[in-house]
Amino acid sequence: MKPIGPLMWEHRLIEKMLTSLTKHIDKIEKTKKVNPLVIDMAVDFVKTYADRTHHGKEEEILFRDLAKKALLPELKKIMQELLDEHVWGRKTTAALVAARNKYLLGDESQLSVIIDLARQLANFYPRHIEKEDKHFFYPCQEYFTKEEQAKMLAEFWEFDRKMIHEKYNKVFAEYDQLSI
pLDDT level of residue 101 (50, 70, 90 thresholds): very high
Name the nearest CA neighbour of 113 among 82, 144, 87, 92: 92
Average pLDDT over residues 86-110: 96
Average pLDDT over residues 17-27: 95
How many Cα atoms occupy the beta-carbon half-sphere of 34 within 13 Å? 30
Contacts of 50 (CB under 8 A, 6+ apart): 10, 14, 17, 89, 125
Specify the pLDDT at position 171: 82
Q: Say how many C-beta atoms besides its own lie within 10 A of residue 18's C-beta.
A: 22
How many Cα atoms occupy the beta-carbon half-sphere of 102 within 13 Å? 14
Contacts of 16 (CB under 8 A, 6+ apart): none
Specify the 3-state DSSP secondary structure of 38: helix
Specify the pLDDT at position 164: 85
Q: What's the pLDDT tens digit per position in 36-73?
A: 899 999 999 999 999 999 999 999 999 999 999 999 99
Specify the pLDDT at position 75: 96
Specify the pLDDT at position 48: 92
In whole angstroms, give the CA distance from residue 29 to residue 111: 8
Q: What is the CATH number of domain 4-171?
A: 1.20.120.520
In whole angstroms, give the CA distance from residue 33 to residue 39: 12
Boundaries of every domain in the chain: 4-171
Percentage above 70 pLDDT, the chain: 99
Specify the pLDDT at position 177: 84
Specify the pLDDT at position 180: 63
Q: What's the pLDDT tens digit per position in 137-161?
A: 999 999 999 999 999 999 999 999 9
Specify the pLDDT at position 169: 87
Q: Greater confidence, 18 or 177?
A: 18
